[in-house]
């Protein structure tokens, strides 16, 4: 069986979770080759096993190198290990273990490593991962590395997920679409959003940016918007530093869009220091999809 057929078989088991992004009708897997909706809109499985469900063309300039670097930082350097542990703890505490199917969507999953690590840490066989990202390069890499989850190229504003199909949505250092998140989450479903705090990757930012640009910022507005959409159950602040070596610092620069416009001299100097402590400083917002009075 090819990778493509194996993925199609996996998707067949969870096809009720998906819906056509063009007409919102249910989909079915046809001949282990494509997803087809009631109106015959067709989305083919790629040979790596993902499905492209974008309904418009995009020009994402996030390239292969960025995702390779990100994969190295997450999987090899373990820079986010405490984040993964915390999120899996939150999920395990909030999910009913007797529920025989729990879908965890990573909205804006990039190359999929955060989702994979979190699923590994959860150690629960009833959890199934779905990764969604607008970047084909990211999803292609995710599908090549991680065979147990479903990988979809798609639009967060019009995601190919059915209404009330997900028990958990992860949104890690990535833009959100709360309207669509509320649609696809089950009632009382969990949303875990991770946002940077002012010291996040400060060593990188200090090296590559003018000091005058630097200012402390707070996540008040983000939290306030989040609270307008979900019941805020908890906020965790996670702050720690890890030492990265030269190769890891190179990867860190490559995975950071904020570094792309920096001067080459500044980048070289940052990388050539050999070792550096790198600070991870994040807020983890945990929300519950409460039905508001108006929805009842």
**Angle value at C-alpha 82, between 175 and 257, nearest 5 degrees:** 35
Residue 37 three-state SS: strand
Choice between 23 and 157, CB closer to Zn ion: 23
Choice between 23 and 258, CB closer to Zn ion: 23
Residue 25: CB minimum distance to Zn ion, A: 5
Binders of Zn ion among residues 6 to 45 (CB under 5 A) are 20, 22-23, 37, 39, 41
Residue 53: CB minimum distance to Zn ion, A: 10
Instruction: Name beta bridge partners: 107.
Output: 132
Total residues at the site for Zn ion (CB under 5 A)?
6
Answer whether 131's CB lies under 8 Å from 139's CB. Answer: yes
Choice between 26 and 257, CB closer to Zn ion: 26
Strand 166-172 with 185-196, pairing? parallel
Residue 69: CB minimum distance to Zn ion, A: 36
Rounded Cα gap, residues 203 and 278, in angstroms: 6
Choice between 37 and 204, CB closer to Zn ion: 37
- Per-residue interface string for the shown chain with Zn ion, residues 38-67, x marking contact by CB under 5 A: -x-x--------------------------
- Annotated binding residue 80: yes
Question: How many CB atoms are closer than 10 A to CB 92?
Answer: 14
Supply φ then ψ for residue 142, to 5 degrees.
Answer: -60, -45
Q: Token pair for residue 58?
A: 């995009």
- Annotated binding residue 137: no
Pick the closest to residue 288 from 217, 213, 199, 185 (CA basis). Answer: 185
Rounded Cα gap, residues 47 and 110, in angstroms: 19
- Annotated binding residue 37: yes
- Annotated binding residue 166: no
157 binding Zn ion? (CB under 5 A): no
Choice between 37 and 282, CB closer to Zn ion: 37
Answer whether 80's CB lies under 8 Å from 88's CB. Answer: no
Residue 143: CB minimum distance to Zn ion, A: 22
Burial degree of 293 (CB within 10 A; 0-12, 13-18, 19+): exposed
Residue 129: CB minimum distance to Zn ion, A: 24
Query: Residues marked as binding for Zn(2+)?
Result: 20, 23, 37, 41
Question: Interface with Zn ion by CB under 5 A: which residues?
Answer: 20, 22-23, 37, 39, 41
Query: Residues marked as binding?
Result: 20, 23, 37, 41, 80, 111-112, 200
Query: Residues marked as binding for S-adenosyl-L-methionine?
Result: 80, 111-112, 200
């Amino acid at each position: 069986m090819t990778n493509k057929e194996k993925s199609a078989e996996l998707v067949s088991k969870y096809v009720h979770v998906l819906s056509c992004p063009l007409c919102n009708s249910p989909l079915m897997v046809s001949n282990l080759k494509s997803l087809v909706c009631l109106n015959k809109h067709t989305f083919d499985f790629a040979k790596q096993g993902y499905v492209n469900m974008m309904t418009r063309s995009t020009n994402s300039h996030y390239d292969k190198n960025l995702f390779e670097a990100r994969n190295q930082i997450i999987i090899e350097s373990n820079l986010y290990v405490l984040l993964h542990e915390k999120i899996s703890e939150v999920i395990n505490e909030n999910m009913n273990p007797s529920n025989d199917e729990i879908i965890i969507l990573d909205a804006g999953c990039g190359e999929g490593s955060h989702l994979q690590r979190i699923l590994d840490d959860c150690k629960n066989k009833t959890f199934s991962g779905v990764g969604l990202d607008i970047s084909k390069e990211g999803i292609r890499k995710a599908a090549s590395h991680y065979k147990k989850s479903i990988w979809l190229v798609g639009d967060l504003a019009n995601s190919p997920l059915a209404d009330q199909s997900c028990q958990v949505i992860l949104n890690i250092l990535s833009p959100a679409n709360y309207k669509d998140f509320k649609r696809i989450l089950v009632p009382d479903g969990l949303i875990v959003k991770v946002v940077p705090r002012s010291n996040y990757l400060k060593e990188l930012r200090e090296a590559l940016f003018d000091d005058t640009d630097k200012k402390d910022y707070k996540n008040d507005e983000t939290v306030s918007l989040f609270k307008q959409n979900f019941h805020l159950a908890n906020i965790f602040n996670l702050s720690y530093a890890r030492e990265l070596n030269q190769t890891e610092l190179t990867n860190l620069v490559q995975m950071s869009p904020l570094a792309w416009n920096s001067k080459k001299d500044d980048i070289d100097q940052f990388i050539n220091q050999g070792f550096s402590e790198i600070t991870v400083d994040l807020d983890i917002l945990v929300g519950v999809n409460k039905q508001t009075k108006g929805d009842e």
